[in-house]
């Protein structure tokens, strides 16, 4: 027998965001100031009432196993919060609590997809969507969108992409990496197309509370109740409540899917951490003053970053409706050179900005958008101003 890695890994790429974070980490270890535009993580500490609830839960004994798919208290809190903020109420049996939203998506891939299946993914996309599909032997079918369309999937493109092999579609609103979001009108048009094709519909709503300028997030179940038998929502506390390290996400799915997820998770991680579940209960049931303050700060930072990016010659950046990413068009800079070194791709541009400006960005190619760069504005305004100024100085060094 040959000792080698599983063949399935040969088709899977490592996370581009984590790879850039590792490069930035090495520079920090050498003593350099690095502008942290690469990883999608709020810089705020988890609100105090949530931390206090976790401490109390530990003292009360939240140190043991819980049911595989989550405590009754957390499932009830998720159902109530979904009704308050999304306009529809799931049943507790539809909820599967996992170790983050990424884990929820992976469990869905294991439960739903197999070789021969195709999964529609609009581009630009979060880097993990196609890789998780490939890990289970299915095939990601990428459907391009354009900046002129607000990086939103059109009914025409969706209709053309749907074939009998399509098992599911994954939509993210607001989007990582673009920050674009679907209005009720956009979703209603897509729902009309999806009614004619019997596939799973997976909606990633992890950024749904982070929208700006009066934009109203709308969840598909609230406007297309008839699609509920094949509709799955993925969400979590990581982004909204600055709880990335607590690792709590969930899916809301039809009962038969939730039962399958119970089996998959029961043979992998079992439950998410008990103390993290208690903290998530406090987050969902508690006051939202901190959320409003964080969202307002993100909105100000968005304006600062987008304005500064658009002031760089050769760079364009649309104003995102949500999340905390600016997705900037650097295509005009491809082919420029530095000290005889031609920067032919967005990947080389991202490396150049890290080397010369100590600004950590993520290339657009792994997101399905060559020539773009993703920059997170989940960091201090002063860092945004200084970091974009460093990128501008680096651009001015190019021939």
Where do the domains of the chain lie? 11-40+290-396, 49-285
Question: Is pLDDT larger for residue 376 or for residue 31?
Answer: 376
Residue count of the chain, please give it.
Answer: 399
State the Cα–Cα distance between residues 243 and 144, nearest whole angstrom.
Answer: 32
Q: pLDDT over 90 for what percent of the chain? A: 91
Residue 308's pLDDT is what? 98
Answer whether CATH 3.30.1330.10 is correct for domain 11-40+290-396.
Answer: no
Report pLDDT digits (tens) over 127-166: 999 999 999 999 999 999 999 999 999 999 999 999 999 9
The mean of the pLDDT values for the chain is: 96
Nearest to 162 by CA among 208, 135, 201: 201
| The pLDDT of residue 2 is above 80 | no
Q: What is the SS3 assignment for the chain?
A: CCCCCCHHHHHCCCCHHHHHHHHHHHHHHCCCCCEECCCCCCCCCCCHHHHHHHHHHHHCCCCCCCCCCCCHHHHHHHHHHHHHHHCCCCCHHHEEEECCHHHHHHHHHHHHCCCCCEEEEEECCCCHHHHHHHHCCCEEEEEECCHHHCCCCCHHHHHHHCCCCEEEEEEECCCCCCCCCCCHHHHHHHHHHHCCCCCEEEEECCCCCCECCCCCCCCHHHCCHHHHHHEEEEEECCCCCCCHHHCCEEEECCHHHHHHHHHHHHCCCCCCCHHHHHHHHHHHHCCCHHHHHHHHHHHHHHHHHHHHHHCCCCCEECCCCECCEEEEECHHHCCCEECCEECCCHHHHHHHHHHHHCEECEECHHHCCCCEEEEECCCCHHHHHHHHHHHHHHHHCCC
Render pLDDT for 108-132 as a digit per residue (tens, 0 to 9). 999 999 999 999 999 999 999 999 9
The architecture in CATH of the region 49-285 reads 3-Layer(aba) Sandwich (3.40)
pLDDT level of residue 22 (50, 70, 90 thresholds): confident
What phi and psi values does residue 295 have, to the nearest 5 degrees?
-65, -40
Q: pLDDT tens across 334-363, in order?
A: 999 999 999 999 999 999 999 999 999 999
121 pairs with which residues across the strands? 142
8 has pLDDT over 90: no
Q: How many CA atoms lie within 13 A of 224 on its CB side?
A: 23
List, for residues 281-330, the tens digit of each pLDDT value: 999 999 999 999 999 999 999 999 999 999 999 999 999 999 999 999 99
List pLDDT tens digits, range 212-262: 999 999 999 999 999 999 999 999 999 999 999 999 999 999 999 999 999
- Per-residue confidence band for 12, with pLDDT thresholds at 50, 70 and 90: confident
pTM beyond cutoff 0.85: yes
Report residue 1's pLDDT band, with 50, 70 and 90 as the boundaries. low
């Amino acid at each position: 027998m040959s000792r080698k890695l599983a063949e399935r890994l040969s088709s899977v790429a490592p996370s581009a965001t984590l790879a850039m974070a590792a490069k930035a980490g090495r520079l920090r270890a050498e003593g350099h100031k690095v502008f942290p535009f690469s990883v999608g993580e709020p810089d705020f500490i988890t609100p105090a009432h949530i931390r206090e609830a976790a401490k109390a839960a530990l003292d009360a004994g939240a140190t043991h196993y819980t049911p595989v798919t989550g405590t009754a208290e957390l499932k009830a809190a998720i159902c109530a919060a979904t009704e308050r903020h999304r306009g529809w109420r799931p049943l507790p049996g539809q909820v599967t609590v996992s170790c983050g939203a990424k884990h929820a998506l992976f469990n869905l891939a294991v439960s739903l997809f197999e070789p021969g299946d195709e999964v529609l993914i609009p581009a630009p996309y979060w880097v993990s969507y196609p890789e998780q599909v490939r890990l289970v032997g299915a095939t990601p079918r990428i459907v391009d969108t354009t900046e002129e369309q607000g990086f939103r999937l059109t009914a025409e493109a969706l209709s053309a992409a749907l074939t009998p092999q399509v098992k599911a579609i994954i939509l993210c609103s607001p989007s990582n990496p673009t920050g674009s979001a679907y209005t009720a009108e956009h979703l209603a048009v897509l729902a009309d197309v999806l009614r004619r094709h019997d596939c799973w519909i997976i909606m990633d709503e992890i950024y749904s509370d982070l929208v700006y300028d009066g934009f109203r997030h709308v969840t598909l179940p609230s406007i297309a109740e008839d699609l509920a038998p094949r509709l799955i929502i993925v969400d979590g506390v990581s982004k909204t409540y600055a709880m990335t390290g607590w690792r709590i996400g969930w899916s809301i799915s039809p009962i038969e899917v939730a039962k399958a997820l119970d089996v998959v998770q029961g043979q992998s991680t079992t439950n998410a951490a008990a103390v993290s579940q208690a903290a998530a209960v406090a987050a969902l049931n508690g006051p939202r003053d901190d959320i409003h303050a964080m969202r307002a700060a993100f909105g100000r930072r968005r304006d600062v970053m987008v304005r500064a990016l658009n002031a760089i010659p050769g760079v364009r950046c649309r104003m995102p409706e949500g999340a905390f990413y600016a997705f900037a068009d650097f295509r005009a800079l491809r082919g420029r050179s530095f000290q005889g070194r031609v920067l032919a791709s967005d990947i080389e541009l991202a490396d150049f900005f890290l080397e010369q400006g100590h600004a950590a960005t993520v290339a657009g190619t792994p997101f399905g958008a060559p020539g773009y760069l993703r920059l997170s504005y989940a960091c201090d305004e002063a860092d945004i101003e200084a970091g974009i100024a460093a990128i501008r100085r680096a651009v001015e060094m190019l021939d």
